[in-house]
Structure 1
Amino acid sequence: MSEQNPYEQLGVTENSSFEEIQAAKKRLFEQHSNDSNVVEQVEIAYDSIIMDRLRLRQEGKIKVPEKIRFPERSVEKAFKVPQIVKEDSAVWLQELIDTPSQADILWPTGIFLTLSAIAVFSQNSAASIVPLLMALGFIANIYFLNRKEGRSGRAFLISFIALFVGIALGTGLANLLFGQGGVTVLGVDQFASAVTLCLFWLVSCFLR
């Protein structure tokens, strides 16, 4: 086999395409897989043909396919992994929303539910106890948020916003309901404190 020229060794001609040359090489590899000497000669013949094609290309006699001139490009295309572009909105939302465990929900639920019950059912001393309940809820919310991320400044800011939104929302709803003659059992302060404590519960459980 070694006395033949490279083309004859692979069983191809000088006019064979690159695909035909590759197929011949593969076929010979499979036929003589147990004969290392033949496999080595086939590899040498294949390399000789490739070098001959490159030489002819430099002389302008043939056009060499891109996969021969730049084989690394085929490898790059084969192993190129498409990049997944995430929208900025999804990123910041994932950083803000938390998926709490059952234990993480249990403690805030117990504390804010207790504070809400005290605010609703302590009618005689509601005027004096509501501010205390709100303060306790505010501190508890800071604690639960800070326990997750360890960022006390951020926890304080979120808790303050929740307090402001809860009072405004609760007061507005109470005035709306009382004005229409609906809910008359609770006072405005009691209703607003209950709404705020519910908001504290949501924030402490489901925000980072």
Structure 2
Amino acid sequence: MVLFPNPDWLAALPASAPHPFRKWVGFGVKLQHTGLMEPGHSGTDSPYVRLGVTDDASFDAVQEAKAEKLAACGDDLQAKARIEADYDAVLLDRLKQRQAGKISQGAVSASQQEAKAASPLKQLKLPALPQLPMGRSISPRSRPTLSMEWPRFGLAEGQRLWLPLLIHGGLLAWIALFSPRASTLSLILAMGTGITILNLLWRHGRFFKAAFWGFAGLAVGLGMGALLTQPLAVTSPLQELQTSSTLALLVQLLLAITVA
């Protein structure tokens, strides 16, 4: 911190005072009257004018002006000290303006430049993610569903009619003509159950419903076969199994062509 003498005391200084001391005191008085001691002074000889900037100059502009002035001074230490003092005075004036609630035009322009620099980033948009078709109804065949509705019956038409007739008829003929063993009967029942499920799935497109009716036909047919073979006194277990398998295929065929 530099202390400058009072100009009234300088006036009372005798003429016989040393020349260097009088020159130093005169320089201090000149700095005081030129506005360096009064930051924010807008006169013709203020720190802003000596730095070559305006009152609303930005902080970067003040720094650039200071650097240019220092470069122009060369090795002159006194000139560099004056420039540093002017720079400090400008910063002090800006600090007082902020404390007083004043916003300089330089700060406003700097904010506008930052907003312009950030605006292209705001305009960038990420690629949109694919959205599921909410407005479209999903086909009932696209996923398995469990329905608790009452069954509806109706005779199938076209391929849905003659295809199960052909396959189940072939399986029934196999049992009637060749009297297969128990292992073969199990394979025949599995084929009949699969064909029944596929045909029902083909008709109404509901997997759980088709599977339910397919296995229900198998269970009902085997149960009916067990009940019928007891009064008939069928002695051979193979004959009992053949009879039950035949009834199971007939029930499955009936369900395959009638359940809607």
Give the TM-score of the pair, scaled to structure 1.
0.49
Bigger proportion of residues as helix:
1
- Which has more radius of gyration? 2
State the structure with bigger RCO (CA 8 A, min sep 6), 1 or 2. Answer: 1
Give the TM-score of the pair, scaled to structure 2.
0.40
